[in-house]
Each structure stands twice: as structure tokens, then as C-alpha cells.
Chains A and B, each alone.
Chain A
Amino acid sequence: MTILHLAVLAPFLFAILVPFLFKYFRKVHTGWFVLFVPLILFIYFLSYISVTSDGQAVMQRMEWVPSLGINFDLYVDGLSLLFALLITGIGTLVILYSIFYLAGKEERLNHFYVYIMLFMGAMLGVVLSDNIIVLYVFWEITSISSSLLISYWYAKKASVYGAQKSMYITVFGGLSMLGGFSLLYVMAETFSIREMIGNADLILNHDLFLAAMILVLLGAFTKSAQFPFHIWLPDAMEAPTPVSAYLHSATMVKAGIYLVARLTPVFAGGAEWFWIITAAGIFTMAWGAISAVRQKDLKAILAFSTVSQLGMIMSLLGAGSAAFYYMDGDNALYTTAILAAVFHLINHATFKGSLFMVAGIIDHETGTRDIRKLGGLMTIMPITATISVIGLAAMAGLPPFNGFLSKELFFTGITNVAQYDMWNGDTIGMLLPVIAWIASIFTFAYSAIIFFRTFRGKFKPDMLPVKEVHEAPAGLLISPIVLVAAVLMISFFPNILAYSIIEPAMMSILPGILGEGSNFYVDIYHWHGINLELMMTLGAVIIGTIIYVTMNKWSKLGIYQNEQDIMTTVYDNGYDALIKGSQVLTRIQMTGMLRDYIVYMVIFIVLIMFYTMFRFEGFQISMENASEIGIFMYLILAALVITIMLLPRVNNRMTAIILAGFVGFLVAFIFTVFRAPDLALTQLMVETVSVILFMAVFYHLPNLTKDNIAPLTKAINIVVAGSAGLMVALVSMSAFTYGQTTPFDAISEYFIENSVELAGGYNMVNVVLVDFRGLDTMLELLVLGIAALGAISMIKLKVKEDDDV
């Protein structure tokens, strides 16, 4: 246990304390206690910058299940540190914001902060784990705590729906990922990511490579809301706004991004990795941006915008992974995309976090997030408006804000793909910048919609549920101001993080492809000269403005009235169909009729037996070694068969008992013939008692009525019963034939020789029953006793109405 381990576990440990703090310090908002955890962790992680900026990494071991190779190993390099700082830094701001957002008296703060702490710890575990199994464990804890947070207001139906949906989708992805991890273990024979990267060649040339890759990517895509798994994110907006700002913009949805970046050195040698991720990312980007324009709810717009931006980062990671394919890290043609991905990751976390907080403030102050009811808030909420303008400009990619810088890099990275020579990079690759450009147009459009619909236009006080709208309290504004300050900082000094954060992160995404001792050198600057990227931005702004201005015309179109995502419809219908389908299936099969179940059982047994016997050529019938038949045996057996065949037809209860008894006595007679006096004796007595019992019972029961069975059912019954008898007879004959030919003697010689010597008895059957195999007899008597007790209680005991059974 090192301090690093303690840092990851600290949120979990603190979560235990939260309910006590909530209960015993009711006067202080619980959030104030919680605030110190991420703050201290943030400062602690800052101390690692000096280590990682030299390209070094820290590895701390802690054994968990060493015999299976599962250890709680933590690994800090540039990439994990970047995420750890995001998680703790934005975590601090979000908790500060939540202190003012959630009222101390009415809300169940103990629940809220426990969930948030669970989430924070799990997220730190995901980004710092070196062992994939440990990573998976933390990954699932993020899914669970995220669902808990989404359904925080669990009385609301939409919250529960959103929580369920996100749970199903992310857990589906998580389980697929576990499958992928298991395949990785099969290939690389280690759970450690570090060692896997060392064995990347082994994995690349293995047959399971593609399967493992797709399974792992399912996990990453579901978590990071890539198409078509993005549908849970808009519904997760039912969570309290601090949660949306934290989980659904800055941290959890980037877990998939992290996983892709982390495993790039393992998988990126294959061209499939490049194409799947780039294509999925760019398509998600366009889909999210176009869907965002349709939304009427501020948070829903932001959710689709997050989907879009995540797609953008994902496509950049895909495009940049080509560096591994060519093993060329010196060439900016390949690495610019990775730089853009890391840079935009940071930018997105800052501006999207602040935008969510602004949406929360507007909701808090006006009581609604519907853009049709909002308007003209600029003069009423000037500070909020200022924060929004900066955040939105960054999101839309306007100069000089940081979104502009990362978007220019994005265009560069994605247009470079056309120069790759793998899998038609020059032809299909041409499509990517076009789609990216369309997505940017819509990004600009929805950023404009948020700003102009909320802050400009006419103020509509009569449509708002609150009486008086005024600027938010200072406490709510601190966090978004800090985030916006970060946006401005990065905007004007883009290289401020280059050496300390971005270069080490690039090093960990693309390890081992640079020459020994050399480093990535990042220099981001505003003015590239008049080039294609600038023209693309310019074009996006112009067309985006046209789209926004003419919005009233095309927003009447049917497609744009419908807010619901097509994939959500697919999901809902699929979910209903799954439940209905399984119900139908159950109804067909579980009829509640004894007859049907017996038919299933018999048919199954007969078919299985037949197949097995047929498959292994088990049917062998030989008359050799069979003993001779006396004439009287023919008579007995004929009588037996006739009785049995009559039995099902009888409709008189007395006749039925007598026939059943007759069968029993005939069997006793056969026992006599076969030299089994004890058996015959017992059989006679038992049969007599049985007949008396039957008589006694029948006295209480109605007479047998003729079974009214439909002809078809009757035919099925005959076939089923006949096949059962035939099958048993055939198998028994074969078994008998084999039994006669095996070289093994019966063990009975031992009993015959020793019954007097060892047990002092002359009747061998009785000696076997009470001496050699006495245990059977004891338990058989127990069965008899239990049956007797059962019969008594069946007759005597009655359940009364109010008895608790």
C-alpha cells in the first residue's frame, strides 16, 4: 500500500464517512467536507508533473490475487496523469458548484456525495490501473455509480428510465470489454497493459486479434457514447446538473477515449483499428451535431454536443493511430491527430463543464431549460451570459478561443488521412474532412442557437415558472468562472500545457516509435497562414450563420420537429419486443399442464437416447446366452400383456384397481419362477396392501370418467408412450447383450461365498440387506417413515385462513 494506492482508495474510504457527517453536522452543508478530498488529490497529482514531463513513469505494486496475476498495480504516466488531473480538478469545481446548487435541507445529500465519491474513486482507478482486470472492476463501478447518480431523483419516471438505459448500455459494453480482455490475456498471457504493449507483436499476429479488438472497442464505444450507443447520454440529462457537468461531459464519457488511447500501442498495428475508430468517431461527430440542432432543451443540446465532440476526439485518436501502422513518430502527418485529440480533450473538459454549469444556473434561476421559453437574459444575468459566450465560442471553434486551436488541428489531422496509403486512404479518406466540415457547420449552428435563444431575443417572464429572475449567487458562479478562466488561459497561451501535460500524454499514447531519447515537440500557434483549415473554419462559420438565420424556415420540417433520436426508437421498440417475445415464448412452453411437461420430458429423453445410441452404434441385439423359456412363462406373460393393454381403456374404478392388482400379482408370480422367494413374498404383501389402499382411497374419490381426449392428442399420446416403451426396450436389450459379452463376472460370488463365513446367515438376500449393504435398508426404512408422517400430516393438518404458511 503506497500513497498512490491510498489516493485512489481515498474517495471510497471517505464515502463511508459521508453519511455520518450528514447526520451529525446538519448545520453545515455536507459538500464542504467532501470538497477537500478532490482538492487534496488534485494537489497530490500535480506533484507528479515533474516526473511525467521528463517522460518518466511511476509504477506501484500491490498484490491482490497474485496467483491469478491480478494485482492492484497503479501506473502514472502522461496520459493517466492528464485524466487524473481532470477528474480531481473538475471534481473539486463540481463539488463546489453542487454545494450551492443542491439545497442542504431538502436534498438527500448523504446519498449524493456517497455516489459522487464512489464515482470519483472508480474513475481514478480506471485511469491509473495497469492491470486490465482491476481496470474492469473500476469500470463497472463507474457504470453503477453513474446510474445511481442519474436516478438521484428516483421519484421521477424519466430519471429511472435514463438510469436503466445507461446501465443496460454501458454494462453491455463493459461485459463485452471483459470478453475482449480475456482474449487479450489468452494472446499475451498477462493482465498487465505494460507487458501487453511489450508483446504487441504477439497480439497483432494472433487469430483472435480482431475479435479482441472489437469486443474491447464495444466497451469503449458504449461508455464514450459513440453511434449507435450514444442514446443513453441525452437521457442521462435527468441527473442533477453537477452530475451532468462532471460525469457526462468531463470524466466518465471520456473513459472510453482513455481506453482507446491507452490500448492504441497494443492494437494500432492493424489497419482495422484505424478505420473502425476513425469512421465511428467521424460519423458520431456528424450525427451528434445534426441531432443537437433539433433539441429544445438546453441540456439535451449540450448532451448531443458532447456526443459530437467525443466522436471528434475518437476520430482523431483513430487517425493518429496510423503512426503505429507506419512506425513513424517523427512525421507530423500522423502525430498531429494525436496532439489534436489530447488538446481537444482538455479544451472540451473546460468549456463543456462550464456550459453545463451555466445551463444549471439558468435552470436554477428561471425554473426552465426549454429554449422556447427562455430569451433576453443577457442584461438580467450578465455574468452568466459572459461565461456562456466564451464557452460557446470555444465550442463553435471561433478564434481566438481554444476550441479554434483544437479545431484547426483537427482539420489538419483529418485531412492528412487522405495522404495515407492504407486501405484506400486516398479515396475514402477524402470523405472524412467533408463529414467533419459538415459537423462543424452544425456545431456552429447549435452554439449560436444556445446563445441567441437564451440570452438575446425577447424576455418572456410570463412563460417562466419563477416570479423574479436575477443573477445567480456568487457561489454558483465560482466554478464556471474558474473553468472559463482556464479556457481563456489556454486560448491565449496555448503552449502553457504543452511541455507539462500534452507532450507526456502523447508519449504514452505513442510509446516506442520515437527514437531513443527524443521527445514530441508541441508548438501550438494561432496563425498558420491562409490555408485549407482556415478556409474550412471560415466556411463553417458562414454556412452555420446562414443555417441559423434561416432556421425559422426549415425548423418547420417534420424531421426537425421530432426531437427523439431514431436509435432511441429502435432501442425502445427492441426492449419492448424482447420482453414481449420472451413472454410469448414462455407462454408457449410453460402451459401449466402436467401432460405437456411429461410429453416434453419423454420426447427429450427418447431423442437424446436414440441419437446417442445411433451415433455410437449402440443398438446390438443378440439372442445368444439367453436362457430357455418354459411354456407356462408364455401364459404368464400373455396374461400380463393383455391386462396392461386393457388398463387404459377401463372406465370403472373397481375394474381398474383389480387389473392393477392383477399386474402386481403376476409380477410376484414371475419372481417366484425366477427363484426369488423374498421378492415374491414382499411383492405379494405390498400389492395386497396397495390394493386395499386404492380401495380405501377410491371410496373418497369420484368414479373414473371417460377421458375426453381429442383424436390428435390421443394419437400423440400413443406415439409418445409407444416410443418411450420401444426405446427403453431397445436400450435394455442392447445393454443385456453387452452385459453378456463383457469379461467381468458379477460380484455376487463374494456374497455367496461369504454370507455364512462373515455374516453367519444362510439367506443371502437378507444377509445382503442387513449386513453387507445395511445402509440402504436403514435409509429405505427412513423413506417409509417419512411417507407415513407425510400421509398423516396430509390427512390431519389444515391450513386456516389466517395462518402464515
Chain B
Amino acid sequence: MEILIIIVAGIMIGASVYLMLSKSLIRIIIGTGILSHGILLMLLTMGGLKRGGIPVLDDSVQQYSDPLPQAMLLTVIVITFALTAYMLVIAIRVYRELGTDNVEELKGVPREDD
């Protein structure tokens, strides 16, 4: 199953890179979101997906699934959320100030003297 998940994660990362190559600021932000989802899946899978109990202590359970990657992913989710929210606000500000969300139109104008 790990191989399959990795392949799906690879597809997600490929699609996110494709989205990030587009002109629209919103597509780029959606792309980063998808990228982080792909990475989440990848990280969870790398530790191995041996079936075990949920990582809450219970005397009847012999084997637990690995708690460490889960703790790390929790941190990742929160940080990604913070970044996504911030980028969205920036997108609003950019659109309000400059009137476009097309990144190619956001290019600086070359100065006359160089």
C-alpha cells in the first residue's frame, strides 16, 4: 500500500507544481496547498503503514501505529495553515493595490537608465 500512496503523493506534487507554474495567483496558492497535502501523505507513509492500534494507551492493544510522525504532521498542518492564510491575505492586498492577480503583469518595469 505504501507504494501506491507514494505514487498518489507523487501525482499530487506533480499537479501542484503544474498549478504553481500558472499565471493566476489563486492557482498558485491552491498549488501550494496541494503540495503540502502531498507531502503530508508522503511523510506519514515513509514510517511504514503497519497496522496497529491508534496511539492511545490501552492495555488490550499489543501494537500501536507510530506516534512520532503523527506528532510531526500535526505541527506541519498548523504551519501550512498559517502560511496559506497569510498568502491569501497578501493576494487580496495585491489585487486591491494593483488591480490584477496575474503574476506576469506583476513584473517590475525595467528602469530607463539600464
Contacts and interface: CB of A to CB of B under 8 A. Distances in A.
B46 A736 contact: yes
Given A679-B73, A746-B66, A747-B68, A627 B50 contact: yes
Chain B binding surface SS class: helix
Contact of A795 (B37, B93, B101): B93
Contacts of B48: 625, 627, 736, 739-740
Given A598-B21, A700-B95, A704-B24, A728 B75 contact: no
Contact of A693 (B72, B85, B108): B85
A776 interface: yes
Contacts of A705: 24
Given A724-B13, A787-B83, A735 B103 contact: no
A678 B70 contact: yes
A545 interface: no
Interface string A694-734: 10011011101101010000000110111011101110110
Nearest to B100: A702
A763 interface: yes
A739 B6 CA distance: 14
A535 interface: no
Interface size class of B (residues with CB under 8 A): 35 or more
A637 B1 CA distance: 11
Contact of A682 (B8, B18, B77, B104): B77
Nearest to A705: B24
Interface string B1-19: 1111111111111110111
A791 B70 contact: no
A185 interface: no
A653 B45 contact: no
B70 to A, nearest CB: 5
B51 A728 contact: no
A542 interface: no
Nearest to A799: B97
Contacts of B22: 595, 648, 707, 709, 717
A690 B81 contact: yes
B56 A637 contact: no
B68 A592 contact: no
Contacts of B71: 765, 768-769, 773
Interface in A526-581: none
A637 B8 contact: yes
Interface stretch (A18-26, A430-438, A498-506, A748-756): A748-756
B51 A675 contact: yes
Interface stretch (A123-131, A138-146, A664-672): A664-672
Given A676-B65, A676-B73, A763-B56, 13 more contacts: A637-B8, A656-B27, A663-B34, A671-B44, A701-B26, A701-B101, A707-B23, A722-B14, A724-B13, A729-B9, A732-B6, A748-B66, A795-B92
Q: Which 6 A-B pairs have the closest CB atoms?
A: A725-B14, A729-B10, A787-B82, A721-B18, A764-B67, A768-B71
Interface of B: 1-15, 17-24, 26-28, 30, 33-34, 37, 40-42, 44-58, 64-68, 70-75, 77-86, 88-93, 95-96, 101, 103-104, 107-108, 114
21 contacts: A593-B103, A595-B21, A621-B3, A626-B1, A627-B48, A644-B15, A647-B34, A648-B15, A656-B30, A663-B12, A663-B33, A693-B84, A709-B23, A721-B15, A725-B14, A762-B58, A768-B67, A773-B71, A784-B81, A788-B82, A791-B85
